[in-house]
Amino acid sequence: MEFGRFDRWRLPTAVKILVAGGFGAGKTTMVGAVSETRPLRTEEALTQAGTYVDDLYGVERKLNTTVAMDFGRITLSNDYMLYLFGTPGQERFWFFWDELALGALGAVVLADTRRLDDCFPSVDYFEKRDQPFVVALNCFEGSKPYTVGQVRKAIGLQSDIPIVHCDARRRDSGKEVLITLMEHAMRRGAASTVGTMS
């Protein structure tokens, strides 16, 4: 059988991406919105037992929570197949993060500006791992419209880490966040290559 040029049959490069952030920031929603396939979810109902450990301020209508991970997949320009792993938000499930982070190119840290301090642990985690990440401000209805500069100052982020506004419910918005992360990771990779050559 004649296949012709092999590059016509080139598969997209597989890339692992984490979607992290605080409890109720929109991680499950974003993974589900952008995924080309039916997303895998490990959600359980919030119960009375969690009342004393889960802070529901600002997310009082939340009924379920991720207890292990969310998983979805999206192809970008036929060049990259992104495998998305949504992390659990509550502190008692953070032991999953190290396993989920293995082999990841980078991460999206979703931030809810109504509960901005909830994204601090995610930011700290990826800074300590020296892993590329972007902060995506999930624009919830009724939240105060903070500027990127105000958020950068509040979180204490370096100037080279991108901060973008998004709506986790919209596929096009989530896709733009992922493109921003890929571009950021590639710039960092190129800069480190140049640094080792000089």
Q: Phi/psi at 132 (nearest 5 deg)?
A: -60, 140
3-state secondary structure of 81: strand
Stronger pLDDT, 164 or 77, i.e. the higher one: 164
Rounded Cα distance, 87 and 25, in Å: 11
91/54 Cα distance (integer angstroms): 9
CATH code (residue 76): 3.40.50.300
What's the domain range around 63?
13-189
Tens digits of residue pLDDT in 64-120? 554 457 889 999 888 899 999 988 766 656 666 788 888 999 999 999 888 888 899
Residue 140 lies in a domain: yes
Domain count, the chain: 1
d(CA 45, CA 66): 9
